[in-house]
Every structure is written in C-alpha cells, then in structure tokens.
Amino acid sequence: MPEPERIDRRRTALIAYDVCRRALTPSDAARNAAMRPVLQAWMQMIAIARAAGVPVIYTTPVSRSDGSDVVLLPTDLSAETGVPALTNAIEGTADAGFPEDIAPRPEDYVFLKRRPSAFYGTGVAELLRMLRRDIIIIGGGATNRGVETSIREAFNLDIASIVVRECCWSNDKAAHAYSLDKAMKMYARVRRVDQVSAMLRE
C-alpha cells in the first residue's frame, strides 16, 4: 500500500478565500440554505487548522463605494451578462465581513482583496514568506474563478496547494466540477476535509 499523504504543518497555512457574509450567509433564503454545507465545511476546516497550529489567512473581496476601483475590462462574460467581470462587496459593509461561525480571531490574518487572486496586491505572498510557509490549504469561491486563479499563481510562486473540495463553491456547477476534477489537478492536490485532516496529523 502507498504511504499516507502528509504535509508539514510547520510549513503550511490555510487560506479562507473570500469567505465573506455576502457569499456564505446571503439574505436570499434559498441561497442561504444552499450555502450552509459550505459554511459547515469551513467551520470544520478552520477548526482543524487551528488545532494543528496552522495560521489562518482570510481574504475578502472589496471595492470602493464610488466604484473607482471596479474592474471594467471588456470580457465575453461581461458582454453576455451586462455586469462587470468582477463584482465585489462594498468595503466597510457587513457583506464584506465574515459570518460569526467562522469569524477571524486576533491571531488570524485578514486581507482585503480587489482582484481575483489571493496574492495580487494583497500582501499574502509576503506574509507566507515571513512565516516561512510554502504550502497552502485553500478553498472558497468561485471555484473556477478566484480559487483557480490563486492556485495557478501559487504554482508560479513555488507554493504547493491543497484545495479543499467541500470548501469550494460556484454558481456554475459545470465549471465548478471541471475546475476541481480537471483544471486544478495540474497545479494542486484536490482533497476532502477528512483527507486534509489526516494529512496534517503528526
């Protein structure tokens, strides 16, 4: 039998990508119910990371209320939908904060993010270097957009990535599945919460 997978918790950090209220606890009742399993997976994953002594890094997607930093580049998606390719919560609003069940603690790290990557313009890469962490556990949404963008960039930065399947979501089910089952396999390992927990054991 092959040896069980292990990751060195001393070299690892958890990135809770865009786990803001707007995404995980939306006001729409049906959407809120649909996102509840993802929130529960995050509760479990964050607890596992903290128990293992793994730093927890939060990102939240924000734009200014005046829209001056909204991405307005032309894309096929924006042409089809009539909305900007990237839409964020308004900085400083409740939607840009985090659900109480997974709220950051004083020892955690929180970064505002204005572009799809967890690394671009945030300071996350610099923090990882400072903490001497070259392995990330990551999940979030949208799977096929921001999470995939982030693990591709992590690969370019020589940072190993483990994507937590249950902690990812997307409104596009086909794109979500393709990203997890095909696209991201070139740049990361995709694992379930229980598998990641086992990988972190001494």
Q: Are β-strands 89-90 and 109-113 bridged in parallel, bridged antiparallel, or unpaired?
A: unpaired
Give the pLDDT score at 3: 67
| Residues in the chain with pLDDT values less than 50 | none
Give the pLDDT score at 119: 98
Give the pLDDT score at 89: 86
Give the pLDDT score at 68: 85
Superfamily of domain 9-199: Isochorismatase-like (3.40.50.850)
Q: Is there a contact between 188 and 135 (Cβ–Cβ < 8 Å)?
A: no
Give the pLDDT score at 79: 87
Tokens 């997974």 belong to 102
Q: Is there a contact between 19 and 142 (Cβ–Cβ < 8 Å)?
A: no
Give the pLDDT score at 183: 97
Q: Which amino acid is at 75?
A: T
Give the pLDDT score at 2: 61
Cα separations (Å) of 35 from 84, 104, 144, 198?
A: 24, 19, 17, 25
pTM across the whole model: 0.94
Question: What does the domain layout of the chain look like in residue ranges?
Answer: 9-199
Give the pLDDT score at 74: 87
Give the pLDDT score at 202: 66
Q: Sign of dihedral through CA atoms 174, 175, 177, 178?
A: positive
Q: Is there a contact between 104 and 110 (Cβ–Cβ < 8 Å)?
A: yes
